[in-house]
Amino acid sequence: MKKLLVVYLALIIAFLGYVYQSRAPFRMQNGQAEEGLRGSISEKYVMVTFQSGIDYWKNCLKGFEDAAQLLNVSVEFKGATQYDVNEEKTVLEQVIARKPSGIAISAINSEALGATIQKAVDAGIPVVLFDSGITASRVKTFLGTNNHNAGATAADKMAELLNRQGKTAIITQPNQSNHQERTQGFVEAIEATYPGMSVIAIEDGKGDQRETERIAVKLLQEHPDLTGIFATQANGGVGIGNALLQLGKKGTVKVIGFDTDKGTLDMVKNGTISATMAQGTWNMGYWSMQYLFHLNHGLVESGAASRGAAVSTLPVNTDTGITIVTEANVDGYYAK
Amino acid sequence: MKKLLVVYLALIIAFLGYVYQSRAPFRMQNGQAEEGLRGSISEKYVMVTFQSGIDYWKNCLKGFEDAAQLLNVSVEFKGATQYDVNEEKTVLEQVIARKPSGIAISAINSEALGATIQKAVDAGIPVVLFDSGITASRVKTFLGTNNHNAGATAADKMAELLNRQGKTAIITQPNQSNHQERTQGFVEAIEATYPGMSVIAIEDGKGDQRETERIAVKLLQEHPDLTGIFATQANGGVGIGNALLQLGKKGTVKVIGFDTDKGTLDMVKNGTISATMAQGTWNMGYWSMQYLFHLNHGLVESGAASRGAAVSTLPVNTDTGITIVTEANVDGYYAK
């Protein structure tokens, strides 16, 4: 009887010991991590955006959540409801005050938010920037689209749609650097590779669907030989599509849009728009979480130890890729 | 007595059940991964390089191994001993034949190795490319230095060393694209930002230390007003350093080298070379392993499901960063 009690006790101790060593994060055995990369559910990572209601962020957040699930940590999504830098600043300050385990920020405006982002860095909170970049910041890690490449990819697709011949135009937001890069990438690719094509106008759509429609109508009336229009902003494709419908030019003028909001996808599906450029939004979210987790757990420093603060401890720029969405693959892009 | 036996048995079953559920990879509970990201020690990931004995790969492999340790998987390092594309091809074919869980390849030559890399892809083996790129391949994922930025960063450092005044030269390998990009980045930054500076010569060091020394001596004799030389290849800094020692010009002509082999670091330490550009080699290895692990475990596809083969399932280009090594931080860069 006593013997059995001893066995019984030994077994309980072994069990508890097993539970303990298998739950402690990053416990090593024979040089291998006992548990793999695994955090604690009490770690909270926050994604901060602007215009937080738009479809665009859904897939970013999905990637962020998917990584969090695998890493056994928690996430939260916060954002300015409007395209308003002061609102985003306020949201970001509230998030910083709660000292989360990490923040992935898509910043409207690099200068206006720089000081607030610096506050997070100074408080020791891991920060990465995704989607929209920031300059003059101590944050060295950015994940997002190479917009120059995205513009060039759109130009190649336009050339394919137009059999390498014809006049094209761009409707863009000339005051935003990512839109400037898309425009430049498109123009340079046309000039470098397609002698039969030209870009005859670059117009300001002011980020507004109605304004883009108005400008597209004007362009198409003034230039009856215009055969292709590239919109660099998300609602531009729908604006141009509506202009085509208004003028009865659906199908005769080729339109390439940007991003994958529902309106654009619907017009790709029904053939009003030929294609739209999908950014690697899931990748932005997924790898933002991975990078933040690595910063928070000090897992990036083993290669950089003793090298001083100048060392980049994470990749500085992660190009999350671009994909062309057409009628053939549009169904996979609707937000779930 | 019987009662105790029942308890005893129940405890054993609970214990085994616990062990089982906690060991199965990616077992989910309440939507969270039970174990975090964790593979099996039987998964073998291989890093394939060329000139496999050089210091350069040590830190790449360290990153690869560090990630493998955290993810509980195995690694192997293979490489052509020479700078020989046929030898690398043979090594790669031997690796493919053993069907590893993933291969990270630094390819000498994109065209000559393209078909062999395609063989790996066709065999369903996850492949990423790091350090040296490849074109015309179905492999879309590359991790490495943005060489244009690296050249521009070297130009900024040179301007700082020369107080924004003076004539400079570049010794490079004009037939290799990464060296072309470093050269172009340097030249463009000087032209764009430093009106008091110029690049008066771009010479071919043929990847050889002696040849670089010979050319540097000739340059310095022909242009006594030359005050700075940038070497884009690893042994170039030492070649130029030896030229300075030969001519008694140590310290009066500023030299910026590339990479962190022992010879270069020694010359940075003793002041013969002012600085050298360190690539993010640990990052290349670490994130190559992470990407391969994600491909092997199908962890990148949840955001891309039903979107067809055109979707990039991983970031397409990961810029692993560049750091300036000077006397102040050189000690951290010696290979361990």
- Per the CB < 8 Å rule, is B315 touching A33? no
- Contact residues on chain A for B299, CB-CB shorter than 8 A: 70
Amino acid identity, position B195: P
How many angstroms separate the first and last alpha carbons of chain B?
A: 61
Instruction: Answer yes or no: do B8 and A12 touch at CB < 8 A.
Output: no
What does CATH list as the number for A147-279? 3.40.50.2300
State the pLDDT confidence band at A6, using cuts at 50, 70 and 90. confident
pLDDT band, residue B335 (cuts 50/70/90): confident
Using the beta-carbon criterion (under 8 Å), do B36 and A38 form an inter-chain contact?
A: yes
Chain B residue at shortest CA distance from A64: B303
Q: Are B169 and B201 in contact (CB under 8 A)?
A: yes
**C-alpha to C-alpha distance for B61 and B51, rounded to whole angstroms:** 14
**Interface contact B280-A7, CB threshold 8 A:** no
Task: Give the residue-averaged pLDDT of B276-297.
Answer: 95
Helix (H) or strand (E) holding B283: helix B281-296
Q: Mean pLDDT, chain B, as a whole number?
A: 89
d(CA B260, CA B278): 6
Please tell me the least confidently modeled range out of A225-239, A318-332, B238-252, B309-323.
B309-323
Of A15, A307, A316, Cβ closest to residue B333: A307
Per-residue confidence (pLDDT) for residue A302, from 0 to 100: 60
Longest dimension (CA), chain A: 100
Domain map of chain A by residue range? 44-145+281-320, 147-279
Element (H, E) at B276: strand B275-279
Find which of A29, A35, A56 to mutate to test the B interface (most B CBs within 10 Å of its CB). A35
Is B147-279 in the same CATH topology as B44-145+281-299+311-321?
A: yes
Picking from A70, A322, A328, the nearest residue to B36 by CB comes out as A70
pLDDT above 60: residue A308: no
Contact between residue A312 and residue A295 where contact means Cβ atoms under 8 Å apart: no
Structure tokens at A159: 């050339």
What value of ipTM does the predicted structure carry?
Answer: 0.83
Q: Which residues of A touch B11 (CB under 8 A)?
A: 8, 11-12, 15
Enter the CATH code of domain A44-145+281-320. 3.40.50.2300
Task: Tell me the mean pLDDT in the region A158-171.
Answer: 98
| pLDDT at residue A124 greater than cutoff 80 | yes
In this prediction, residues A101-115 reach a mean pLDDT of 89
Per the DSSP assignment, residues forming a β-bridge with B278 are: B323
At A251-291, the pLDDT tens digits run 999 999 999 999 999 999 999 999 999 999 999 999 999 99
Three-state SS at B316: coil
CATH code matching the domain that covers B44-145+281-299+311-321, chosen among 3.30.465.10, 3.40.50.2300, 3.10.129.10, 3.40.50.10800: 3.40.50.2300
* Top-confidence residue, B307 or B250: B250
B318 vs A315: CB contact, 8 Å cut-off? yes
What is residue B23's predicted lDDT score, i.e. its pLDDT? 41
In this structure, are strands B275-279 and B322-325 parallel, antiparallel, or unpaired? antiparallel
Distance, in angstroms, between B18 CA and closest chain A CA?
A: 9
Token pair recorded at residue B19: 């062990």
A146 → chain B, closest CA residue: B317
Q: Who's near A30: CB < 8 A, 6+ residues apart?
A: none
Compute the count of residue pairs across chains A and B with CB atoms less than 8 Å apart.
Answer: 184
- Coil, strand or helix at A146: coil
Neighbours of B94 (CB within 10 A): 12
What is the pLDDT confidence band of residue B137, given thresholds at 50, 70 and 90?
low
Angle A270-A273-A279 from CA coordinates, rounded to 5° = 110
For residue A284, which of B316, B71, B298 has the smallest C-alpha distance? B316
pLDDT averaged over every residue in chain A: 89
- Across B133-144, average pLDDT: 76
Q: Rounded to whole angstroms, how far apart are CA atoms A120 and A124?
A: 7
Query: Which pLDDT does position A27 carry in this prediction?
Result: 47
pLDDT of residue B55: 85
pLDDT of A1: 64
CB B98 within 8 A of CB B74: no
pLDDT above 60 (res B210): yes
pLDDT at residue B1 is higher than 60: yes
pLDDT recorded at residue A283:
95
Q: Which residues contact A96 (CB under 8 A, 6 or more apart)?
A: A103, A116, A119, A120, A123, A125
Strands (DSSP E) contained in chain A are 28-29, 32-33, 44-49, 74-79, 102-105, 127-130, 142-144, 166-172, 197-204, 226-231, 254-258, 275-279, 317-319, 322-325
Kindly indicate the confidence band of residue B25, based on its pLDDT and cuts at 50, 70 and 90.
Answer: very low
Confidence of residue A9 (pLDDT cuts 50, 70, 90): confident
Is residue A233 scored above 60 in pLDDT?
yes
What is the mean pLDDT of the segment spanning A52-77? Answer: 94
